[in-house]
Amino acid sequence: MKHIRPYLGLVFFFVLYLWNFPIVWKSPEQLGRFDWDLYTFHVEFLRKSYLEFNTFPLWNPYYGAGFPVWENPSSKLGSFTHLFALFLPSVDALKLSFLFYFALAGILNYQSFRLYNQSKQLTPILFVCLFQFSGFFFQKFYAGHLNQIQGLFLPAFVFYFLTYLKENRNWILIPILLVAYILLSEGAIYTITQIAFLVIFLAGREVFLSDRKKETIYHFFSLSLILLVVLSFKWIPMFLLVHKVGRHFVPDQFPLNLSDLYSIFFGSSQHPLLSQALSQMQYRYWEYGNYLGQIPFYLSPLLLFTKRKMDSVLGLLGLVVWIMIGKTSSLSPVTILENLPIYSLERVYPRWSLSVIFLFVWCLVMGIQTITDKTPKKYERHLSISLLILLFLHTLDVRKMNTKYLDEIFVLLPPTLNISNQESYPITVGTVPDYGSDSRMLPALQANLSINDIYENLTFSFANQTIDSPEYHGEFFLYPSYKKIKPVHWKPDTFQFEKLPADQILVINQKFHPGFITNVPELKTCSLNGYLAIMVTKSIHQIQISYSPFASFSFYGKNEFVCETLKKPSSTEKNIL
């Protein structure tokens, strides 16, 4: 019972904080605002692939002339969200995944904090609640930034990692690998980059504090190698795709002022607009709001009571605050990060408030622990009761600020479309009616349409022809005859055709990607002015084209897969293709 008691305490405070969450299920037929369309679209495609095509999704043809799935950080392929989507509607799967990750992170954050900091049972509860009840996570849930909610696991990864360096317990590899896989499968790039930054600095601190420095350094490199090797099947394709195609980048032009920090963390900065405007705002308000609560603000002088070994953590906190503020000068750490892979694509430095909250709460709780350690035994019970009362009041405060606008998220009704597609494969349209979200990808997918009006950070895009264009020849056609042709069997990543005539090029109205292969050894896919195509030099009775993630590695080489033109096209044909 003694070991169960702290978890019951966590359950009590979690239920108290999340008391208003069921309101998001009030109107199941309504869709979410802002970025909810984007991530619901990706999860809906995973669900559609399983329920309609009984296939493991590898290529998504429903937007942007086709995108790879396994390599795309936004796809959530292989994640817990993907698992939930097999049994629940996509929006419900995303809502459930938030609760699941909130609970799982609570358990792992509690265990890892207690293990690394060798804390009493109460201080880990304080840490978990102060960190997870910050405004960051519900701000991201509100905005539909569903690749950042997994920042919940940041403390668990850091503390487990540092514990392994210190004690080399092999079982710790399991939660480390689990958290790392969750972050990769959910596309939590921002969390991953911040974890990497923190681990490098904190591992150096661990080496400095260690009596066995060489052994600690060995553990650091061995654990890093294990992570890179075991999870290489996921991170290598993802890194190569992002590095190759890049992403839409709008640099953070307006740095914050130090005076803005109070509004962000302790002021009423959550919604709908900042009550006290920041000096300059380049992004929407949810990028700046991360309400931590009034009680942590009044307890912040306890940072001075942390033990001496925490001084370097306080210094790291100052460094991360500097990064969060943005590019203030040429001496800013942001200037260095802009020259590093992946970090160079960072564009919203206020998102580093996640790391600021982690380090601030860690130092604050360790200051509280210092006070409790020095408290006479006869007063320990009174102090514990006082801290629990403060935590109760804190939970009510942050719940009021962070969850009061949950009923404003799912308020949109799907648009009415005036186009019907009876084919098994999607037909390409430019856009669909605006229904209030930041994108329109989900309604198009649900109507079996492929949309060019995409909302994707990756710049791996290609404007293929839409059905309302005079140059549209169908989703599959032969060139140069422009004869339409239909596949006899179609799945999102597999197309099967019969009886293709000689001296024609089979053109598919999707972007070329070398991950597509055929079942005919002498026939290779090629690019015809950017379109996916196959040169048919002799009559083919049957051919199957499918996408292979293994073949897609050639995409990152230097070879060009260009179709040889069978006859010299006219100027009109050049414009069409």
C-beta of residue 139 within 8 angstroms of C-beta of residue 406: no
Q: How many C-beta atoms lie closer than 10 Å to residue 165's C-beta?
A: 23
Coil, strand or helix: which one is 541?
strand
Supply the pLDDT for residue 2. 64
Distance between CA atoms of 56 and 421, rounded to whole angstroms?
24
Q: How many C-beta atoms lie closer than 10 Å to residue 390's C-beta?
A: 16
Q: For each of the chain's 577 residues, which pLDDT tens digit applies? A: 567 888 899 999 999 999 999 999 998 889 999 999 999 999 999 999 999 999 999 999 999 999 999 999 999 999 999 999 999 999 999 999 999 999 999 999 999 999 999 888 799 999 999 999 999 999 899 999 999 999 999 999 999 999 999 988 899 999 999 999 999 999 999 999 999 999 999 999 999 999 999 999 999 999 999 999 999 999 998 888 887 777 766 667 778 888 888 888 987 655 444 444 566 666 666 788 789 999 999 999 999 888 888 999 999 999 999 999 988 888 889 888 888 888 877 778 889 999 999 999 999 999 999 898 888 888 888 999 999 999 999 999 999 988 888 988 999 999 999 888 989 999 999 999 999 998 999 999 999 999 988 888 787 778 899 998 989 999 999 999 999 999 999 999 999 999 899 989 999 999 999 899 999 888 889 999 999 999 998 888 899 999 998 887 766 554 557 887 544 444 444 444 5
DSSP state string for 253-299: -----TTHHHHHHTSS-SSSS-SS--S--SS-GGGT-----HHHHHH
C-beta of residue 555 within 8 angstroms of C-beta of residue 518: no
Q: How many C-beta atoms lie closer than 10 Å to residue 385's C-beta?
A: 10
Distance between CA atoms of 371 and 306, rounded to whole angstroms?
9
C-beta of residue 353 within 8 angstroms of C-beta of residue 145: no
C-beta of residue 78 within 8 angstroms of C-beta of residue 185: yes
Supply the pLDDT for residue 218. 94
The interaxial angle of helices 90-117 and 5-17, nearest 10 deg, is 140
Structure tokens at 385: 């009761």
C-alpha 410 chain-centroid distance: 20
Measured in degrees and rounded to the nearest 5, phi and psi for residue 543 equal -150, 140
Name residues whose C-beta falls within 8 Å of residue 9's C-beta, 6 or more positions apart in sequence: 125
Considering Cα of 566, then 571, then 573, then 577, what sign does the dihedral take?
A: positive
Supply the pLDDT for residue 275. 45
Supply the pLDDT for residue 57. 94
Name residues whose C-beta falls within 8 Å of residue 546's C-beta, 6 or more positions apart in sequence: 493, 494, 495, 516, 517, 518, 519
C-beta of residue 63 within 8 angstroms of C-beta of residue 510: no
In angstroms, the Cα distances linking 496 to 56, 206, 466, 486 are 17, 57, 22, 9
The per-residue pLDDT for range 4-30, each reduced to its tens digit, is: 888 899 999 999 999 999 999 998 889
C-alpha 344 chain-centroid distance: 17
